[in-house]
Amino acid sequence: MWVKAAVKARVLVPVVLASALFLAACSSEPEAVPAPSLSSALAAPSADAVVSFDAQATCETYFQLDLLRSTVAAGVKDLNRKERRALLVEYQQLVTDLTATAGDAANSGELKQQVLTNAEKMQTLLDKFGKKDGIDSLSKMQKKRLTLQANRVEAQCASTGYALPQENIDARELIP
């Protein structure tokens, strides 16, 4: 008995859905929007319909990091110890965010795996600093390594179509 009910439900549900869609499409109201067809409603979403912003988020995070790098390169000698520490904490947070977004972008295929590798190298280098260290604790070699990795991330962003914003270019010009 329940088998016949299941078969009837299996046949009846698509018929009811199709007739409901048909009636909605045949509406007499002039401003009514036609309902989507049953086949389009059941179809899998196309690649164009799925929009991912992983590469954009990664590059925007990098651009924020680049502005901070330009600020640090312009000079931090007149900052007090707390301000230098705050700059290092902000630097570390931006690199952590960059690593997270780069992982998403690399997994989705929007950016190469190298972006994630470079972000992880930057994070490893910055994770070595303690709570009392400031941005001035970076050695010349560490700054050189951070710059190398950052330039590689920037190159990947540029090759994907995310060029360096004018604000960043202007900030770089202020570096002595």
Q: Which residues contact 67 (CB under 8 A, 6 or more apart)?
A: 167, 168, 171
pLDDT at site 154: 92
- Percent share of the chain, pLDDT over 90: 19
* pLDDT tens sequence across 105-136: 888 888 889 999 999 999 998 888 877 777 77
Domain ranges of the chain: 2-42, 54-173
Higher pLDDT pick, 89 / 22? 89
Q: Which candidate, 169, 71, 153, 171, places its Cα nearest to that of 111? A: 153
pLDDT at site 17: 44
State pTM to two decimals. Answer: 0.66
Q: Which candidate, 45, 47, 33, 143, places its Cα nearest to that of 88? A: 143
pLDDT at site 100: 92
- The b/e string for 28-59 (b: 16+ C-beta within 10 A; e otherwise) is eeeeeeebeeeeeeeeeeeeeeeeeebbbbbb
Higher pLDDT pick, 58 / 41? 58
